[in-house]
Structure formats: C-alpha cells, structure tokens
Amino acid sequence: MSQVADRSSVVIMNTYGSRPRTFVRGDGIVLFDDAGKSYLDCLGGLAVVAVGHANPAVTRAVADQVAVLAHTSNLFHTEPQVELAEKLVAISGLDRVFFANCGATANEAAIKLARRYGQALSGPDRYRIVSLNDSFHGRTLATLAATGQPAKQATFAPLPVGFHQVPGGDIDAMAEAVDESVAAVMLEVVQGEGGVVSWSADYLRDVRSLCDEAGTLLIIDDVQAGMGRTGNWFSWQDVNIKPDIASVAKALANGLPVGACLATAEVAAAFQPGDHASTFGGGPVVCAAALATIGEIEERGLLTNARARGQQLTHGLMALDGVSGVRGKGLLLAAVLDDDLAPEVVAAALDNGLILNAVRPNAIRWAPPLSITASEVVDAVAIFDASLSGVRTASDGN
Ligand SMILES: *Cc1c(COP(=O)(O)O)cnc(C)c1O
C-alpha cells in the first residue's frame, strides 16, 4: 500500500472499500499515479470528465473566475450563473433552471418541485414518485428512496414515504402505478449504475403519454447520460420525448461540483421564493467551468465524436473473444462478458493501464471523455482484449 492509502485508512470513512491507486495528475484521457505510471481513463471519473483531464480551456475559465469572484451566495446575481442557465435552456428546450451541487441535490430539487406542483394542482394527496427497479438517483434519503436498489436502502430505514418502484420496460406495470396520487414518474433513459441498461423509444413515449393522461409529471434523471454522453445534449433527445423536469450534474463542469434541475416554465412556476435554496449552488466558479466545458463540446464537435467513437468502441468490443454484447448509447457503454469475470477483468485492466469499472458481475462500464480519439479507442480496446484474455485463460486453468 502506498503511504496515502495507509493514511486514508486512518482518517477517511470506509464507504468506498479498497481504492487501488492514488492519482496525482491528468492530461486529456490519461491519468498518472503516484508511481509515475500512466493509464487510459476510459471511465472518465464516472462519466464526469467530458472534455479531458486538465483541459486548458476549463482550467483558464476557473482560474480567471476564482481570481475575480468565487462566491456571493444566492442572495445576489452573478453573470456566469445567468449565462449558464441561458445556455442550458437553449440546448434543452426546457425553460427554467435551479442550480444544486451534485446529482443527488439536483434530484432533490426535482422531487420537491414535482411535489410542490402536484399538490398545488391536485391537493395534498398527489405526492407519490414512481421510479424504476435498478435505478439510481442518489444517496440522500429522498433520492435513495427513489433508487430502486433495496440493498442500498435496507440499512437506512425509515426512508421518506411516497416512493414506489416498478420494473423498467414494462408499460403495464407503469400504467397500473400511475394515477392521480402520483406527482411524477422519475427515470433514467440509460440506467448507468444499474448496468448501462436503456429503454426502447416506444416504452419511453408510452410512459410520456401515461403521464400526460394522469396529469403526472415526467422527471428524467440525466445526471449520468446527459451533457453530450449519448451523442445528443440530453438522452431524451435521442428518443424525441420531452420531460417536464430534468436533472443533470456529472459531466456539466468537467469535474467541478455542480448540478442543475431544469423544468418547463409552467412547472417551475410552482416554486415560490423561500421554497428551495442552496448556499453554493450555481456559484460563479463552477458556472464558468460549465460554460467552458459546453464551449469545448461545441467547438470541438464532441457530440458527433461521442456518436462516432461510441460506434467504433462498440464494434471493437463486439469483435473480442469473451464479449457477448455491448449495451448503452454513445460513450456510455457496457461490455457484457460471457462469464461473471467483470471485477477480475477490471483489476487486470488497471494493472495494464486502463481504467474501467464493473457495473454487474458480467458487465464493464466504459464512459471515457467525449474527446477520446479514434487511436485512443484502438489502444484501449487492445489493452482490454489482453486483460480479458489473460483473466479467461487463468480462470479456465482453475
Ligand atoms: C451519479 C448519479 C446520481 C448522483 O449524483 P451525485 O453527484 O453522486 O449525487 C444521480 N443519478 C444518476 C443517474 C447518477 O448516475
């Protein structure tokens, strides 16, 4: 164990299990550990580092802003916040923005807004939130209640009431669940933590119709799949539906902590002064970082690149022995293995200089920077192939 790992085990709460490396520096898709070894970061800091590590444009924007004004509180306006909101409105087709600090707090805002709107519209009985099995919406108590993973919830009972899950992709189960007591259906178009599982356009359009018929809002949690990862700015744009409320966070500011809850003007009007707030949300530094990140995606054509590199990566992975399929969209993909070897393959890949993670015993997530190049895809697939065949040979021998 490195010195940092030793010290960490003394003072950091053990919520993350063992952490196998200490990183000290990044450059584009590459990370360097404390022994000087380099890695291709094809996890992108969990779908966060959209335009590469130590991106010069983002670095400059952050440095310039922090040198001038880092914080005012939300009692006052700052221009970077308004400019980022204008940009998010322009690319999303939604109308209003509330800034939070991360995915969970963006989703908390979404849930509170849906309840506020639902109760104003239909009275105090419209508060329930229907989400999907295997979903992931965050670790705060309300977002954990919305998360369809009983194993993550069990030891924190009692959770806030009014949350209910149904199987994803099953429109009959959704139809049964959605009635006048439901403030919102909340779902991910691509379930990232749930194994990189996506739903058909037909299912999503049918859910949208069910919501419209029942006067229920549709919240799309685009914290992981949004901000260009699927090859569009937002995942719902791939399937031509529009949510009433959406949340984004991970890739929004290339690693600086910010989240945003977006909504239509009609729904957003339910929030009155004093209803919701955040001390840090949408501060000028993170907003400057987000604007620079969005600027990089636009100037470098990274939505197109996400689609093209995603296809290249899919074809490259499909051709490998031991890979039975590839799930996901754009640059949010999972390689599905023939066998339950994902943790072993991830560990071998790390040793070989490639960062990925296991989202299922048989599925490995890829979420590289949207700026990954064609030759970096070739290199990453070659390392993955060597790692996979090494683990398969070793496990055959047992
Ligand atoms: C990561 C994630 C969250 C939680 O985001 P945090 O920033 O960790 O709070 C919520 N929803 C989805 C879909 C996510 O992938």
Candidate from 107, 224, 245 with most ligand 1 atoms within 8 A of CB, to mutate: 224
**Per-residue pLDDT tens for 44-53?**
999 999 999 9
Give the pLDDT confidence score for residue 230 in this predicted structure. 98
Q: Are 262 and 268 in contact (CB under 8 A)?
A: no
Query: Is pLDDT at 396 greater than 90 in this prediction?
Result: no
Which pLDDT band, with edges at 50, 70 and 90, does 398 fall under?
Answer: low
Name the 3-class secondary structure at 291.
helix
Q: What percent of the chain has pLDDT over 70?
A: 99
Give the pLDDT mean for 126-149: 98
Give the pLDDT mean for 175-200: 97
Query: Is pLDDT at 2 greater than 90 in this prediction?
Result: no
pTM here is: 0.97
* The two three-digit tokens of residue 239, written as one number: 């399937």
For residue 167, which amino acid is it? P
Q: What percent of the chain has pLDDT over 90?
A: 96
**Per-residue pLDDT tens for 329-341?**
999 999 999 999 9
Name the 3-class secondary structure at 354.
strand
Give the pLDDT confidence score for residue 154 in this predicted structure. 87
Strand pairing partners for 184?
A: 129, 217
**Per-residue pLDDT tens for 10-46?**
999 999 988 999 999 999 999 999 999 999 999 999 9
* The two three-digit tokens of residue 96, written as one number: 């209003």
Which residue lies with its CA nearest to atom 8 of ligand 1?
A: 103
Give the pLDDT confidence score for residue 172 in this predicted structure. 98
* The two three-digit tokens of residue 164, written as one number: 């209910």
Which ligand 1 atom is nearest residue 221's CA?
13
User: Per-residue DSSP letters for 101-138?
Assistant: SSHHHHHHHHHHHHHHHHHHHH-TT--EEEEEBT----
* The two three-digit tokens of residue 67, written as one number: 């040198």
For residue 313, which amino acid is it? L
DSSP class of residue 157 equals P
Pairing verdict, β 96-100 and 357-360? unpaired
For ligand 1, the distance from its centroid to the CA atom of residue 108, given in whole angstroms, is 11
For 332, phi and psi rounded to 5 degrees? -120, 95
Give the pLDDT mean for 287-293: 98
Give the pLDDT confidence score for residue 3 in this predicted structure. 87
The b-or-e profile of 179-191 (16+ CB within 10 A means b, else e) is eebbbbbbbbbbb
Which ligand 1 atom is nearest residue 249's CA?
7
Strand pairing partners for 256?
A: 254
Measured distance CA(137)–CA(104) in Å, rounded = 6
Q: Are 317 and 65 in contact (CB under 8 A)?
A: no
Residues labelled catalytic: 136, 221, 250
Candidate from 48, 134, 193 with most ligand 1 atoms within 8 A of CB, to mutate: 193
Rounded mean pLDDT of the chain?
A: 97
Q: Is the dihedral of CA 282, 283, 288, 293 positive or negative?
A: negative
Query: Is pLDDT at 1 greater than 70 in this prediction?
Result: no
Q: Considering only CA atoms, which of 262, 289, 281 is closest in space to residue 50?
A: 289
The b-or-e profile of 151-168 (16+ CB within 10 A means b, else e) is eeeeeeeeeeebbebbeb
Ligand 1 site residues (CB inside 6 A) read 102-104, 107, 136-138, 188, 192-193, 221, 223-224, 249-250
Name the 3-class secondary structure at 97.
strand
**Per-residue pLDDT tens for 156-171?**
999 999 999 999 999 9
Measured distance CA(204)–CA(208) in Å, rounded = 6
**Per-residue pLDDT tens for 330-379?**
999 999 999 999 999 999 999 999 999 999 999 999 999 999 999 999 99
Candidate from 43, 101, 136, 152 with most ligand 1 atoms within 8 A of CB, to mutate: 136
Neighbours of 176 (CB within 10 A): 11
Cα 204 to Cα 118, 168, 177, 188, 300: the distances in Å are 21, 10, 15, 10, 31
Q: Considering only CA atoms, which of 113, 48, 44 is closest in space to residue 248?
A: 48
Half-sphere exposure of 153 (CA within 13 A, CB side): 24
* The two three-digit tokens of residue 391, written as one number: 């683990």
Give the pLDDT confidence score for residue 133 in this predicted structure. 98
Which residue lies with its CA nearest to atom 6 of ligand 1?
A: 103
